[in-house]
Amino acid sequence: MGNSSSLMLRDEEIEEIMNETEFNRNQIVRLYSRFLSLDKKGQGYLSRDDFLNVPELAVNPLGDRIVDAFFTLASSNGDNEEQQLNFRQFVRILAHFQPISRVKKNALNSRKDKLLFAFKMYDLNKNDYITREEFKVILNSMVGANITSDQLDKIADRTIEEADADRDGKISFEEFCRAMEKTDIEEKMSIRFLN
């Protein structure tokens, strides 16, 4: 999915998006105007730089990991890393963060999809495993300045050990899900998109 540079949002598109996700018309229009405001060069798609121009994201320690996850999830076949995000892909990823509704059984904001997003952020080299080194990098970016590297190692070791059920030294997606079993992911990873 390369660059469908449609600057105007057509009604059919809105309909399609409404079927795919649980957004209603107003929300989609609102997200579209957000998309346009992020797309400063008016190219009809977003590149990594556009994301990193969001000032709050720049101060966020996990900023570039989040952007990375957006682009990874956007690519349909997984090998080909996306460099550009069109509006459909943008909305589809944000749909992951909709609150889970009991009415519509939608594939995009299920618990598993939310967890997948979180997992992809950790998995730097995209091999579907979180290794100890990858985990240390993330931990370091979150808390690195405050603790010694020794403490960092120990915390990382401890966390990996707790989650690593098959003892292969890395965490697979299933192990990640199981570790987060008791956390209320549905609530934590939901954003209320205003009408």
Q: Please report whether residue 24 would count as binding other proteins according to CB under 8 A.
A: no
User: Which of 7, 142 has the CB closer to other proteins?
Assistant: 142
Integer Cα distance of 11 and 153 in angstroms: 53
58-117 residues near other proteins, rule: CB under 8 A: 59-63, 65-66, 70, 94, 97, 99
Q: Please report whether residue 189 would count as binding other proteins according to CB under 8 A.
A: yes
Considering only residues 57, 116, 124, 177, which one is a binding residue for other proteins as defined by CB under 8 A?
57
Number of residues that bind other proteins (CB under 8 A): 52
The residue among 114, 76, 71 whose CA lies nearest residue 96 is 114
Considering only residues 43, 83, 106, 159, which one is a binding residue for other proteins as defined by CB under 8 A?
159
What is the DSSP annotation of 136-154? HHHHHHHHGGGS-HHHHHH
Considering only residues 32, 45, 51, 87, which one is a binding residue for other proteins as defined by CB under 8 A?
51
Considering only residues 49, 162, 168, 174, which one is a binding residue for other proteins as defined by CB under 8 A?
162
Q: Please report whether residue 12 would count as binding other proteins according to CB under 8 A.
A: no
Site stretch for other proteins (CB under 8 A), options 5-13, 15-23, 126-134, 162-170: 162-170
Q: Which long-range contacts (CB under 8 A, 24 or more apart) does 43-47 make?
A: 43/3, 43/5, 44/3, 44/4, 44/5, 44/6, 44/7, 44/86, 45/3, 45/4, 45/5, 45/84, 45/85, 45/86, 46/84, 46/85, 46/86, 46/90, 47/83, 47/84, 47/85
User: Which of 107, 142 has the CB closer to other proteins?
Assistant: 142
Instruction: Classify burial at 69, counting beta carbons within 10 Å of its beta carbon; exposed 0-12, middle 13-18, buried 19 or more.
Output: buried
Instruction: Classify burial at 92, counting beta carbons within 10 Å of its beta carbon; exposed 0-12, middle 13-18, buried 19 or more.
Output: middle
User: Which of 1, 118 has the CB closer to other proteins?
Assistant: 118
Contacts with other proteins by CB under 8 A lie at: 31, 34, 37-38, 51, 54, 56-57, 59-63, 65-66, 70, 94, 97, 99, 118, 121, 138-139, 142-143, 145-148, 150-151, 154-155, 158-159, 161-164, 167, 179-180, 182-183, 187-194
